[in-house]
Structure formats: structure tokens, C-alpha cells
Structure 1
């Protein structure tokens, strides 16, 4: 397991262990740590680089909640694993974009360009839908699309799938790379440089997620309220300068 824990040693407080990806999720959680402490809650943030472990550990009862995903990803996890993790509140929306270190615009994407995209089913589908909408491929949708569903590929693009959290590290090795907003920020990539970017899409709001047995419990509801308060909105607006938008 690749993770680290941000916690403050406390006594007599109720622990709240939350799995999160580093940017901006853990940073937003850090912001609400103090108001939660005022409510007697010790927020412990466990940081993950992967997108599978936070759900697996939440389902196993080793986390009280997690904060890293949008609803299509959560729905797919529940469907594949038979779990019933539940969304609690939406917190923010990140851009999802198509980037290149060598190509200036979409029209300049050449034949046989190599394209790196995320490998999990939900984000393969999201990537292919974007390429279809941009007219770079034709990919009819019958559920979650895969590269085998591509019906027309006039530029004969070559697709390579990578674990989602590794995409930032292959930017220089491919003509075109899909990046999530948090990855772009972690790697110092301005989302304004994207060849194309999906912004403010409420269907991909990032949610605080819990289990059915604790979603309405005191500590999770207190976190939900802290994440959806006006001061958190102001923090998101000021810290991320439009690259991340509040979803509440």
C-alpha cells in the first residue's frame, strides 16, 4: 500500500480516518482540520497515490470515509465489487484535459500520434468520449466504451493505457496525454495549456464517500458540513484560482 498519514496526536477526541489523494483533496481536508477539532474530532488523513486502495480500505472498515472520486468511478467500483459505498456530499470539480509537450493544438495532432490514457474503465470511457466529441475518432457508446469500440480512427492514433495515477510521469514520452486536474497541479502543469479541457462538469464532481453504516454518523456528517461551508468555498477559490471549482 502506498500511503502516508497526516494526523495530530490528540487524546479524548473521536478519530476520523479519511483516505485521500494528495492534491487538492488532502489539502482541502487539511483546511477543515481545525473546525473539526473544535467539535472533538481528530481528523487523520491517509494519503494515497492509487485510485483503488481508498475504496477497498473503506469497504473493509479500515477508513471511515474517503475523498478522491466522482460518482461514475464510485458506481463502477460498487458494481464490480458488490459493495455499496455511498456518496455523502460533492466538494469540488477538477478539469480533465488533453495535453502535449510538443503539439500546439488539436489540428496539429499527426497520424500515428501516440496517446496515453487512463486504464480504469470509467476514465477510458471519459477519454474516448472526449476524443469522439472532438472529431478525432468515432466511438459509439454502448455502456462504458473501450478502445476496441472505436469505429473510425482517421488519424490512426495509437492508444496506450496506464494506471491513472501514473499519467503525469509519461507526459514527455507520448504525443498526447490525458491528465486529471489534480495530476496537472501536482506536476506543475497549467490546465490553461491543455489542447482541450473539460471544466466545471457537475457529472464529475468529487465526493466525500462513506459506508451505509456510518454515512449518517456524527463524525462523517461533521466532515461533510465542514467541507461544504462557505469558508471552504473561499479556500478553494483562493487557493486554486479557478483550476478547481467548488461543487456546492
Structure 2
């Protein structure tokens, strides 16, 4: 179960609170950047930071958070379909790289037979990882649009790769335990890993833009509208480009 690490808020008297859940890097940092703009509009942006994303959608669906900022549309679609929730994407903000990393291998061609590969275990991201391995010719695992896959769907594995699905939150800690590990951009940056060192990296794919997400019934909330505007401002565009030195792609 994920645990809120900290709460960042101004607590200004007479201000309207807006509770947003986010993962630390870069989501909470981007939210921190727009805090002053919202404060000037009488909104106290309260950012609750979670080390993992296990509960973030549930907390928004239950009304315990007003919105969250951590996910892309395929992940949100699966959550809504499985829980019958009605969370909606408000605005896209940025796109993070997703890649293959190794501590002892310096290129894809050097991946040995029977290498141990750690993949994220949630349905959306294991599907994305398997599709990447298929595209790179390392396995055969045809994946169609709107379909989820598991390692059981691999139809050919000529190198005999040992594919293991593990909790996404653990991937960053397993780089010494596996030959190859998939890492999300936020994980790599949080660990100080340059995404340019990846064996292969998917960058700038608009299908995986990260969105501010809120309940459909809250779309008229002035705070949500103000936050959406702030996240898609020129100031935020410049912040993303400067603070992350090209490791993130602006999605608006």
C-alpha cells in the first residue's frame, strides 16, 4: 500500500484548498512550480506526495483527493474499466521516457542469452514493456491496440530471456539483481539515472502523455480549471524544458 510521504501546502487563511495527489519527480515538482500562480487566485494547492501510485486513483474516486497527477491515458482507461469509476483526463502536461537499463551491459546486442529482465507488473505497463521488447526483436509478443498482455502471451523467445513481472515501485531497487530492468522516467530521474544511458528509450510518445486527472463531476470546479490553466502555461512549458534538461517532453 502506498503511503503519503508529505503534504506541501501554504495553508493561507481564507484560501480555497485544492488537494492533489502526485508522485515526487517530476509531478510534485511541476505542481510546486504553479503554486504561486494559484495562490494569487486564492487557491491553496495542497500537494500530497506518494512514493507509489497504487492508491492515487482510488483516493480521487472516493473524494479524498480533488485530483491527481501521475498517469497516462492507457492506465486511467484500465482503472475506469475495472472499477467503473468516472475519472477523466483534464489536460496533458508532459511525456516521460520509458526504457531499458542495465548496470553490466552497454548495448542491446550485448544482452546475453537467458538474461534476467524485470518488467513492471501492472497490466498497462507490462504490456508496454512486452511491446517494446517485441519491437526490438528480442521476443515475439504481438500486442494490438486496447489489448493487455502478460509474459504468458510471448509466442517466441529466441534468447531464452527470463522475464519476471515485479511491482513497478521496486524496479529502481533491482538494477543490481537483474541483467536488464525497465524504468519509468520519473524513477530514473528520482534515482539520478541519466535517461541517456538507457539501452533503449521510448521518448515523446503522445500516447503516454501524463495528465492531470479529476472526477467528471468536478469539471466545473474553479480550482481544477485554474490548475489546468497553470499547468499548460508558458511558464510551465519553460520550467519543464529548463529544469529537466530535455529529459521530459512538453505535451501541450
- Give the equivalent residue in structure 1 for 2:202: 198
1:29 to 28, 31, 36: 31
- State the Cα distance separating 1:9 from its structure 2 match: 2.0
Structure 2 gap ranges (5+): none
- Give the equivalent residue in structure 2 for 1:113: 115
- Report matched runs for 1:172-211 at 5 Å: 172-211=176-215
Runs of 4+ in 1 over 4 A off after TM superposition: none
- Give the equivalent residue in structure 2 for 1:15: 17
SS of 2:149's equivalent in the other structure is coil
CA distance in 2, matches of 1:52, 1:221: 25
- State the Cα distance separating 1:141 from its structure 2 match: 2.1
- Give the equivalent residue in structure 2 for 1:157: 161
- Work out whether 1:38 is the aligned partner of 2:49: no
- Give the equivalent residue in structure 1 for 2:226: 222
- State the Cα distance separating 1:11 from its structure 2 match: 1.1
- State the Cα distance separating 1:51 from its structure 2 match: 1.6
Cα pair 1:51 1:164 within 8 Å, conserved: no
- State the Cα distance separating 1:217 from its structure 2 match: 1.4
Deviations 1:106-143 (A, max 9, x none): 11111110000100000000000000000000002252
SS of 1:104's equivalent in the other structure is coil
1:75 to 74, 77, 89: 77
User: What root-mean-square deviation, in Å, do the aligned CA atoms of Structure 1 and Structure 2 show?
Assistant: 0.8
- Give the equivalent residue in structure 1 for 2:216: 212
CA distance in 1, matches of 2:130, 2:136: 10
TM-score (norm 1): 0.98
CA distance in 1, matches of 2:122, 2:79: 10
TM-score (norm 2): 0.97
Deviations 1:77-124 (A, max 9, x none): 111111110000000000000000000111111111000010000000
- State the Cα distance separating 1:244 from its structure 2 match: 0.8
- State the Cα distance separating 1:162 from its structure 2 match: 1.5
- State the Cα distance separating 1:171 from its structure 2 match: 0.9
- State the Cα distance separating 1:215 from its structure 2 match: 2.2
- Give the equivalent residue in structure 1 for 2:239: 235
- Work out whether 1:147 is the aligned partner of 2:151: yes
* Farther-moved stretch of structure 1 (221-230 vs 76-85): 76-85
- Report matched runs for 1:92-131 at 5 Å: 92-131=94-133
- State the Cα distance separating 1:169 from its structure 2 match: 0.8
- State the Cα distance separating 1:166 from its structure 2 match: 1.6
Structure 1 gap ranges (5+): none
- State the Cα distance separating 1:165 from its structure 2 match: 1.8
- Give the equivalent residue in structure 1 for 2:251: 247
CA distance in 1, matches of 2:82, 2:75: 11
